[in-house]
Homo-oligomer: A and B are copies of this chain.
Amino acid sequence: MTEIYMDHAATTPVRPEVVEVMLPYFGTEFGNASSVYGWGRRAHQALDQARDTVAELLGAASNEIIFTSGGSEGANLAIKGVAWAYQTKGKHIITSAIEHHAVLDTALWLKKHGFEVTILPVDEEGFVSPAEVEKALRPDTILVSIMHANNEVGTIQPIAEIGAIVRKHGAFFHTDAVQTAGVLDLNVEELNVDLLSLSAHKFYGPKGVGTLYVRKGVRLDPLIHGGAQERRRRAGTENVAGIVGLAKAFELAREERVAENARLTKLRDRLIEGLQTIPSSKVNGSLSQRLPNNVNVCFQYIEGESMLLNLDLRGIAASSGSACTSGSLDPSHVLLAMGLTHEIAHGSLRLTLGRDNTESDVDFVLQEIPVIVERLRKMSPLYQG
């Protein structure tokens, strides 16, 4: 059976070119980047170079780059770091209802610790309104965190516009760019952001490594205290192989971005068009401001996991809501925030395309899904077909 992977928003394979640049740092160049001798200096140089690469790709300075263990740590460091560092200035934080749990749960934890959190609603396409952000801003607002593009429905937020408003009001602005890094152009100046987090495994780099951009002048309490690494903002022996891999993967993604996005957009639209022909189906998220690889559809009367299992039996890997929370039985908080009912939200399917997907993959998926939907609907007590 051919296997078709259409869950690139969950994770991606590491590109062979990336593995190749990582390998020396497991073996001969294994030094601790903090050490003064040859092995240490060479590891340090590799870090410096990776840092320069990432900084340049973000339009940032090298000393504004912190390497982390991934997107979740990045969001936690950004939000808790600013919150603890500026708590005497204010204790109000603004975020949105469709954030990844790495942002939402962090904000809610801070709430337990005396911070005030405003969670902004979104419209039916998943957009946060810049005007709502402006209304929510208060003199004691220290941080606003709005994701760049949503991991479930692919809606791309007007980050630059929101950033300009936040700046005007003197708060800091973090964006979770885990889904856009390597896909969209990320320039921290143009985006008007003060903090930006990303994760290598979403763009064909290794798992367990990410980056937090922190604008010069923004203070952070470390999340991980200890050694003097990362200019004292993130302790721990640096994951040199992982960091070198992140930089390489980011570089490759950004080189190929424009052509690859055009290709993916075509496949995406073909998928969306095909799935829309299924009765009682609904495409979620914006059609115009959307990640080039994201398809999210609800099929009424059926439940997501049973659809995924059937797809898996046909060799198709997809997701229903966020992979991170698939241990939970709640339907996607993102779809609920967009106004879907529980019943319909339970029937969501996310297909996210990637480098390995072809037109014939799309056609195979378009052939299989209607059969599965039909089969499950026949079993469903809700369906009066």
Contact = CB atoms under 8 A, between A and B. Distances in A.
Interface of A: 3, 5, 7, 10-14, 16, 18-19, 23, 26-28, 30-32, 34-40, 69-73, 75-76, 84, 100-103, 105-106, 108-109, 113, 199, 201, 206-209, 221-229, 235-242, 305, 308-309, 311-312, 316-319, 322-328
Given A27-B16, A226-B101, A328-B228, A109 B221 contact: yes
A208 B30 CA distance: 12
Copies per assembly: 2
B207 A238 contact: yes
Given A36-B305, A208-B208, 8 more contacts: A11-B30, A14-B27, A34-B323, A37-B318, A72-B235, A73-B224, A76-B226, A207-B241
Contact of A324 (B10, B28, B207, B229): B229
Given A199-B237, A206-B241, A207-B241, A226 B35 contact: no
B326 A34 contact: yes
Quick one: which of A108, A109, A201, A325 has the most chain B CB within 10 A? A201
B317 A39 contact: yes
A225 B325 CA distance: 12
A128 B40 CA distance: 32
B206 A236 contact: no
A70 B70 CA distance: 13
Given A11-B30, A27-B14, A324-B228, A312 B38 contact: yes
Nearest to A79: B225
Contacts of A209: 208, 239
Nearest to A12: B30
A30 B16 CA distance: 12
Contacts of A228: 324-325, 327-328
B309 A71 contact: no
B328 A3 contact: no
Contacts of A240: 207
A325 B38 contact: no
A212 to B, nearest CB: 12
A323 B40 contact: yes
Given A76-B223, A224-B223, A239 B34 contact: no
B35 A236 contact: no
B308 A37 contact: yes
Contacts of A10: 32, 34-35, 40, 237
A113 B324 CA distance: 31
Quick one: which of A39, A227, A309 has the most chain B CB within 10 A? A227
Contacts of A73: 69, 224, 236
